[in-house]
C-alpha cells in the first residue's frame, strides 16, 4: 500500500518474489542452478533422466537409483487406450499444444490413485506424468503421419526412447546426445510464467494434472515457450541470408519484438544460449543447419547492436530441434516434455508450502453505478 492507502502495482510482477524455492535459481548475472548445481556442470556430463530425478527427489541419483528410475519412466510411458484414441481423433488443424493440454488433463481421469494425496503418491504421479507427456507428443506426431508409434525399448534411456517413438527409428548417438542436452537445458527455470501458473493451481490444493494443464496453457504463448516456433517462422520468412539485415531492421524500426531475444530476469546473456549455440555449431555439417546458423549469427549481431539484448533459450533451441528433424509446430511440445519435470517438482514444493497464492489488484473501475432492470436498459 502507498502512503495514501492505495495499492501499488508491480507491473508484470517484475522482481516480485512470490514464494521460496530450493529447486532452481536464475541468477540475473547470467547463471542457472538446479538444486545448487550450475547447469554448466550438468550439461554434457549427465543424462536428462538424472535431471528429472534431481528436480523431483532433490538429489542426484546414484547408478542404481538412476537405473530404477529410468526403468520406472519407461514402464510408465504407456498411455491409457482412451487417450491414444482421443489423440488419433484430433483434427489435424489443431496445434499440437492444444492436443497436449487436453490429453494431459484427460490423463487425470485415468489416475486410479487420484484420491491418494500422500507425498509418496504424488512422487509416483510426478514420475508418471514426466513419462507420459513425451508419449502423447510422439503418438500425436506419428498419428499425423499415419504411422504407428513404436513401443519404448528397455535398452534405451528415457530421452532416447522419446526421440525413437517420435521419429519411428532409433536415433543416432549424436541425436541422442543433443536431445539429452536440450532437455536438460529446458527442465526448470525459477518462477517462469508456466511454473508460476502450475504453482498457483497447486496452491489451491488442486491436483497435479490440473497444475500441469494450467502450465501447458501458459507455456504455449509466444512470449514464453511458444517463442521457438515463432523463431523458425521468422527464419523461414527471411529466406536467403542476404535478407537478414533488412528484415530485422524493419522489425526494430517498427518497434516489433524479435522472437527469441530478451529476458525478464537475465541482465547478461542467458547461460543456456552458449550451450545451444555450441550444439548448433556442431550440427552445422548439415547444410540446412549451417544456413540457419548463419542467419542466426547475423540476427544476433544486429539485435545486440541496436537493442543491447541477447538471444534467449528459444533462439538456438529452434535450430537445434530443426536439426533433430522436429517440425516447428512440435517445438513447444518438445519444450513441454522437459519442463514438465520442473512443473511437477514445483507443484510438490507448493503443496508443502501450503499457502494460497492470491494477489491483490488495484481497482480502477467506477463506483455508484445505478442498477437498471433488463427491460429498462
Ligand X SMILES: CC(C)(COP(=O)(O)OP(=O)(O)OC[C@H]1O[C@@H](n2cnc3c(N)ncnc32)[C@H](O)[C@@H]1OP(=O)(O)O)[C@@H](O)C(=O)NCCC(=O)NCCS
User: Footprint of ligand X on this chain (CB under 6 A)?
Assistant: 12, 223-224, 227, 257-264, 307, 309, 312-314
263 is known as an active-site residue: yes
Q: Which residue has the cell 520406472?
A: 72
> Are residues 207 and 114 in contact, defined by beta-carbon separation less than 8 angstroms?
yes
The residue (of 144 and 339) whose beta carbon lies closer to ligand X is 339
Question: Given 111, 314, 322, 346, which residue is catalytic?
Answer: 314
Nearest residue to ligand X, by Cβ distance, number only:
262
Crossing angle (nearest 10°) for helices 119-144 and 81-89? 40
Q: Cell numbers of 210, please?
A: 490440473
The residue (of 57 and 257) whose beta carbon lies closer to ligand X is 257
Beta bridge partners of 191: 189
237 is known as an active-site residue: no
**How far apart are the C-alpha atoms of 253 and 306, rounded to whole Å?**
10
Neighbours of 171 (CB within 10 A): 21
> Are residues 54 and 199 in contact, defined by beta-carbon separation less than 8 angstroms?
no
**How far apart are the C-alpha atoms of 288 and 295, rounded to whole Å?**
11
Q: Beta strand pairing status for 24-27 and 31-34?
A: antiparallel
Q: Beta strand pairing status for 31-34 and 37-38?
A: antiparallel
Neighbours of 252 (CB within 10 A): 14
- In 3D space, the residue among 303, 325, 245, 310 whose CA is nearest the CA of residue 277 turns out to be 310
C-alpha separations of 374 from 107, 158, 259, 371 in Å: 43, 60, 47, 9
Q: Which residues contact 60 (CB under 8 A, 6 or more apart)?
A: 37, 46, 50, 53, 54
The CA-based dihedral angle spanning residues 59, 123, 105, 352, taken in that order and rounded to the nearest 10 degrees? -80
Question: Given 263, 270, 322, 346, which residue is catalytic?
Answer: 263
- Cβ 227 to ligand X, closest distance in Å? 4
- In 3D space, the residue among 320, 280, 46 whose CA is nearest the CA of residue 158 turns out to be 46
Active site amino acids: 263, 314
Amino acid at each position: 500500500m502507498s502512503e495514501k492507502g492505495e495499492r501499488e502495482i508491480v507491473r508484470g510482477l517484475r522482481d516480485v518474489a512470490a514464494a521460496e524455492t530450493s529447486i532452481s535459481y536464475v541468477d540475473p548475472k547470467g547463471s542457472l542452478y538446479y538444486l545448487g548445481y550450475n547447469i554448466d556442470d550438468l550439461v554434457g556430463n549427465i543424462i536428462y533422466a538424472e535431471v528429472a530425478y534431481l528436480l523431483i527427489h532433490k538429489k542426484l541419483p546414484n547408478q542404481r537409483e538412476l537405473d530404477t528410475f529410468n526403468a520406472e519412466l519407461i514402464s510408465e510411458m504407456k498411455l491409457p487406450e482412451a487417450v491414444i484414441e482421443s489423440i488419433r481423433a484430433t483434427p489435424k488443424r489443431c496445434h499440437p499444444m492444444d492436443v497436449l493440454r487436453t490429453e494431459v488433463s484427460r490423463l487425470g481421469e485415468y489416475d486410479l490413485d487420484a484420491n491418494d494425496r500422500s507425498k509418496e503418491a504424488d512422487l509416483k504421479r510426478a514420475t508418471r506424468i514426466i513419462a507420459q507427456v513425451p508419449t502423447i507428443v510422439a503418438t500425436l506426431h506419428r498419428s499425423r503421419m499415419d504411422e504407428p508409434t513404436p513401443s519404448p525399448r528397455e535398452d534405451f534411456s528415457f530421452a532416447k526412447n522419446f526421440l525413437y517413438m517420435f521419429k519411428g527409428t532409433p536415433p543416432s548417438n549424436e541425436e541422442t546426445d543433443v536431445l539429452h542436452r536440450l532437455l536438460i537445458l529446458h527442465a526448470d527455470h525459477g518462477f517462469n510464467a508456466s511454473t508460476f501458473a502450475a504453482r498457483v493451481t497447486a496452491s489451491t490444493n488442486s491436483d497435479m494434472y490440473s497444475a500441469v494443464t494450467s502450465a501447458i496453457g501458459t507455456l504455449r504463448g509466444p512470449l514464453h515457450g511458444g517463442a521457438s516456433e515463432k523463431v523458425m517462422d521468422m527464419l523461414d520468412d527471411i529466406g536467403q541470408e542476404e535478407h537478414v539485415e533488412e528484415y530485422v531492421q524493419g522489425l526494430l524500426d517498427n518497434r516489433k519484438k524479435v522472437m527469441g531475444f530478451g529476458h525478464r530476469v537475465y541482465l547478461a546473456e542467458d547461460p543456456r544460449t552458449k550451450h545451444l549455440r555450441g550444439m548448433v555449431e556442431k550440427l552445422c555439417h548439415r547444410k540446412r543447419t549451417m544456413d540457419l546458423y548463419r542467419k542466426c549469427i547475423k540476427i544476433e549481431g544486429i539485435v545486440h547492436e541496436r537493442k543491447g539484448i541477447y538471444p534467449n533459450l528459444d533462439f538456438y533451441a529452434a535450430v537445434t530441434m530443426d536439426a533433430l528433424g522436429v517440425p516447428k509446430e512440435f517445438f513447444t511440445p518438445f519444450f513441454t516434455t522437459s519442463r514438465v519435470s520442473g512443473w511437477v517438482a514445483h507443484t510438490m514444493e507448493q503443496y508443502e508450502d501450503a499457502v494460497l497464492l492470491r494477489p491483490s489488484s488495484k481497482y480502477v473501475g467506477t463506483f455508484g453505478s445505478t442498477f437498471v432492470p433488463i427491460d429498462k436498459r
